[in-house]
Structure 1
Amino acid sequence: MVMILAVLAVAGCDSGKPDKTPAAAPAAPVAAVAAAPQWDVQVVATEALTDITAWLLEHGYPFQIDANRRILIGPFSSKADAEAKNQELATKLINAHRAAGAQVVEHK
Protein backbone atom coordinates (compact mmCIF):
# COMPACT_ATOMS: atom_id res chain seq x y z
CA MET A 1 0.00 0.00 0.00
CA VAL A 2 2.82 2.38 0.88
CA MET A 3 4.55 1.53 -2.39
CA ILE A 4 1.45 2.42 -4.41
CA LEU A 5 1.14 5.79 -2.66
CA ALA A 6 4.81 6.54 -3.27
CA VAL A 7 4.46 5.79 -6.98
CA LEU A 8 1.36 7.97 -7.25
CA ALA A 9 3.05 10.81 -5.37
CA VAL A 10 6.11 10.74 -7.65
CA ALA A 11 3.98 10.50 -10.78
CA GLY A 12 1.99 13.58 -9.83
CA CYS A 13 5.01 15.77 -8.99
CA ASP A 14 5.07 17.48 -12.37
CA SER A 15 1.33 17.93 -12.73
CA GLY A 16 1.20 21.68 -11.97
CA LYS A 17 4.40 22.78 -13.72
CA PRO A 18 4.51 24.20 -17.23
CA ASP A 19 6.00 22.10 -19.98
CA LYS A 20 9.74 22.80 -20.25
CA THR A 21 10.30 21.35 -23.70
CA PRO A 22 11.91 23.98 -25.90
CA ALA A 23 9.92 25.32 -28.79
CA ALA A 24 11.13 24.20 -32.16
CA ALA A 25 13.36 26.76 -33.81
CA PRO A 26 11.90 28.29 -36.92
CA ALA A 27 13.20 26.55 -39.97
CA ALA A 28 15.80 28.56 -41.82
CA PRO A 29 15.18 28.83 -45.52
CA VAL A 30 17.41 26.45 -47.41
CA ALA A 31 19.25 28.09 -50.25
CA ALA A 32 19.10 26.10 -53.42
CA VAL A 33 22.79 25.96 -54.17
CA ALA A 34 23.84 23.90 -57.12
CA ALA A 35 26.57 21.49 -56.12
CA ALA A 36 29.83 22.18 -57.88
CA PRO A 37 30.85 19.41 -60.23
CA GLN A 38 33.51 17.01 -59.04
CA TRP A 39 36.02 15.16 -61.17
CA ASP A 40 37.58 11.68 -61.25
CA VAL A 41 40.57 10.20 -63.03
CA GLN A 42 39.44 7.09 -64.88
CA VAL A 43 42.04 4.40 -65.49
CA VAL A 44 41.53 2.72 -68.85
CA ALA A 45 43.37 -0.57 -69.00
CA THR A 46 43.64 -3.36 -71.53
CA GLU A 47 45.19 -5.65 -68.94
CA ALA A 48 43.36 -7.61 -66.27
CA LEU A 49 41.43 -5.57 -63.72
CA THR A 50 43.23 -7.32 -60.86
CA ASP A 51 46.65 -6.54 -62.32
CA ILE A 52 46.09 -2.81 -62.72
CA THR A 53 44.32 -2.43 -59.36
CA ALA A 54 47.19 -4.26 -57.64
CA TRP A 55 49.63 -1.84 -59.28
CA LEU A 56 47.53 1.15 -58.17
CA LEU A 57 47.51 -0.13 -54.58
CA GLU A 58 51.26 -0.75 -54.62
CA HIS A 59 51.85 2.83 -55.76
CA GLY A 60 49.48 4.44 -53.24
CA TYR A 61 46.55 5.38 -55.48
CA PRO A 62 43.23 4.94 -53.67
CA PHE A 63 40.55 3.96 -56.15
CA GLN A 64 37.03 2.68 -56.46
CA ILE A 65 35.40 0.45 -59.03
CA ASP A 66 31.92 1.57 -60.08
CA ALA A 67 29.00 -0.53 -61.30
CA ASN A 68 30.31 -0.37 -64.88
CA ARG A 69 33.68 -1.81 -63.76
CA ARG A 70 35.46 1.49 -64.31
CA ILE A 71 38.46 2.22 -62.10
CA LEU A 72 38.09 5.73 -60.68
CA ILE A 73 40.57 7.75 -58.63
CA GLY A 74 38.99 10.70 -56.84
CA PRO A 75 36.74 12.61 -56.64
CA PHE A 76 38.61 15.89 -56.95
CA SER A 77 36.97 19.22 -56.20
CA SER A 78 38.37 20.94 -59.28
CA LYS A 79 39.17 19.89 -62.79
CA ALA A 80 42.69 21.33 -62.39
CA ASP A 81 43.39 18.96 -59.47
CA ALA A 82 42.10 16.02 -61.50
CA GLU A 83 44.22 17.04 -64.49
CA ALA A 84 47.34 17.24 -62.30
CA LYS A 85 46.70 13.76 -60.86
CA ASN A 86 45.98 12.50 -64.39
CA GLN A 87 49.35 13.76 -65.65
CA GLU A 88 51.17 12.24 -62.67
CA LEU A 89 49.44 8.88 -63.09
CA ALA A 90 49.91 8.80 -66.88
CA THR A 91 53.62 9.42 -66.48
CA LYS A 92 53.97 6.62 -63.92
CA LEU A 93 51.94 4.21 -66.08
CA ILE A 94 54.17 4.91 -69.09
CA ASN A 95 57.37 4.53 -67.06
CA ALA A 96 56.10 1.23 -65.63
CA HIS A 97 55.22 -0.05 -69.13
CA ARG A 98 51.63 -0.71 -68.07
CA ALA A 99 48.96 -1.33 -70.72
CA ALA A 100 46.80 1.41 -69.29
CA GLY A 101 46.02 5.08 -69.66
CA ALA A 102 44.15 7.71 -67.68
CA GLN A 103 41.58 10.35 -68.48
CA VAL A 104 39.60 12.94 -66.52
CA VAL A 105 35.84 12.37 -66.27
CA GLU A 106 33.08 14.16 -64.40
CA HIS A 107 32.16 12.48 -61.10
CA LYS A 108 28.67 10.97 -61.03
Structure 2
Amino acid sequence: MLKTGLAAVCGFLLTVSASQAATVKVIINNYMFMPDRIVAHPGDVILFSNQDTDPHTATSLDGKSFDSNTIDPGSSWSFTVKAVGTYKFHCAIHPDMLGEIDVQ
Protein backbone atom coordinates (compact mmCIF):
# COMPACT_ATOMS: atom_id res chain seq x y z
CA MET A 1 0.00 0.00 0.00
CA LEU A 2 2.82 2.42 0.84
CA LYS A 3 4.50 1.81 -2.54
CA THR A 4 1.23 2.33 -4.40
CA GLY A 5 0.42 5.49 -2.46
CA LEU A 6 3.93 6.86 -2.94
CA ALA A 7 3.82 6.13 -6.67
CA ALA A 8 0.48 7.91 -6.93
CA VAL A 9 1.86 10.96 -5.09
CA CYS A 10 5.01 11.02 -7.24
CA GLY A 11 2.93 10.72 -10.41
CA PHE A 12 0.75 13.59 -9.26
CA LEU A 13 3.78 15.79 -8.55
CA LEU A 14 5.27 15.04 -11.97
CA THR A 15 1.98 15.91 -13.66
CA VAL A 16 1.68 19.21 -11.81
CA SER A 17 5.23 20.36 -12.54
CA ALA A 18 5.03 19.35 -16.22
CA SER A 19 1.92 21.46 -16.73
CA GLN A 20 3.29 24.69 -15.26
CA ALA A 21 3.54 27.65 -17.60
CA ALA A 22 6.89 28.70 -19.03
CA THR A 23 8.17 32.14 -19.93
CA VAL A 24 9.45 32.36 -23.49
CA LYS A 25 11.82 35.30 -23.98
CA VAL A 26 12.09 37.23 -27.22
CA ILE A 27 14.80 39.86 -27.56
CA ILE A 28 14.25 42.78 -29.92
CA ASN A 29 17.60 44.05 -31.18
CA ASN A 30 19.10 45.31 -34.44
CA TYR A 31 15.58 45.49 -35.93
CA MET A 32 14.99 41.75 -35.41
CA PHE A 33 12.99 39.48 -33.14
CA MET A 34 15.32 36.86 -31.65
CA PRO A 35 14.24 34.15 -31.97
CA ASP A 36 11.83 34.95 -34.77
CA ARG A 37 10.01 31.61 -34.44
CA ILE A 38 8.71 30.65 -31.01
CA VAL A 39 7.19 27.37 -29.87
CA ALA A 40 4.91 27.73 -26.85
CA HIS A 41 2.05 26.01 -25.08
CA PRO A 42 -1.28 27.37 -23.85
CA GLY A 43 -0.67 29.25 -20.61
CA ASP A 44 2.93 30.19 -21.48
CA VAL A 45 4.00 33.82 -21.15
CA ILE A 46 5.74 35.44 -24.12
CA LEU A 47 8.07 38.21 -22.95
CA PHE A 48 9.31 40.74 -25.53
CA SER A 49 12.32 42.80 -24.34
CA ASN A 50 13.39 45.75 -26.47
CA GLN A 51 17.18 46.00 -26.36
CA ASP A 52 17.30 48.13 -29.50
CA THR A 53 17.82 51.88 -29.69
CA ASP A 54 14.41 52.53 -31.28
CA PRO A 55 10.83 51.75 -30.19
CA HIS A 56 9.12 48.66 -31.60
CA THR A 57 5.87 46.73 -31.27
CA ALA A 58 4.87 43.07 -31.24
CA THR A 59 1.59 43.08 -33.16
CA SER A 60 -0.26 40.06 -34.55
CA LEU A 61 -0.80 40.17 -38.30
CA ASP A 62 -4.49 39.39 -37.80
CA GLY A 63 -4.76 42.65 -35.87
CA LYS A 64 -6.68 41.14 -32.96
CA SER A 65 -4.73 38.33 -31.24
CA PHE A 66 -2.23 40.62 -29.49
CA ASP A 67 -0.71 44.08 -29.73
CA SER A 68 1.96 45.43 -27.43
CA ASN A 69 1.57 49.03 -28.50
CA THR A 70 4.96 50.78 -28.38
CA ILE A 71 7.76 49.02 -26.48
CA ASP A 72 10.35 51.70 -25.76
CA PRO A 73 14.08 50.90 -25.70
CA GLY A 74 14.94 49.19 -22.42
CA SER A 75 11.31 48.20 -21.80
CA SER A 76 9.47 44.89 -21.97
CA TRP A 77 5.94 43.66 -22.64
CA SER A 78 4.40 40.25 -22.11
CA PHE A 79 1.19 38.37 -22.70
CA THR A 80 -0.13 34.87 -22.05
CA VAL A 81 -0.93 32.61 -25.01
CA LYS A 82 -4.25 30.88 -24.60
CA ALA A 83 -5.20 28.92 -27.71
CA VAL A 84 -3.39 26.42 -29.91
CA GLY A 85 -2.53 27.83 -33.32
CA THR A 86 0.04 29.74 -35.34
CA TYR A 87 0.26 33.48 -34.75
CA LYS A 88 2.32 35.56 -37.14
CA PHE A 89 3.42 38.96 -35.89
CA HIS A 90 5.41 42.01 -36.91
CA CYS A 91 6.55 45.37 -35.65
CA ALA A 92 3.86 47.85 -36.66
CA ILE A 93 6.53 50.60 -36.79
CA HIS A 94 8.98 48.52 -38.87
CA PRO A 95 6.84 46.06 -40.89
CA ASP A 96 9.89 44.17 -42.22
CA MET A 97 10.40 42.78 -38.71
CA LEU A 98 8.49 39.48 -38.69
CA GLY A 99 8.00 36.57 -36.31
CA GLU A 100 5.78 33.62 -35.55
CA ILE A 101 4.45 31.94 -32.42
CA ASP A 102 3.50 28.28 -32.79
CA VAL A 103 1.27 27.34 -29.85
CA GLN A 104 1.03 23.55 -29.53
Bigger Rg, structure 1 or 2: 1
- Could you tell me the TM-score, scaled by structure 1's length? 0.29
Identify which of structures 1 and 2 has the higher relative contact order when contacts are C-alpha pairs closer than 8 Å and 6+ apart. Answer: 1
- Could you tell me the TM-score, scaled by structure 2's length? 0.29
More helix by share: 1
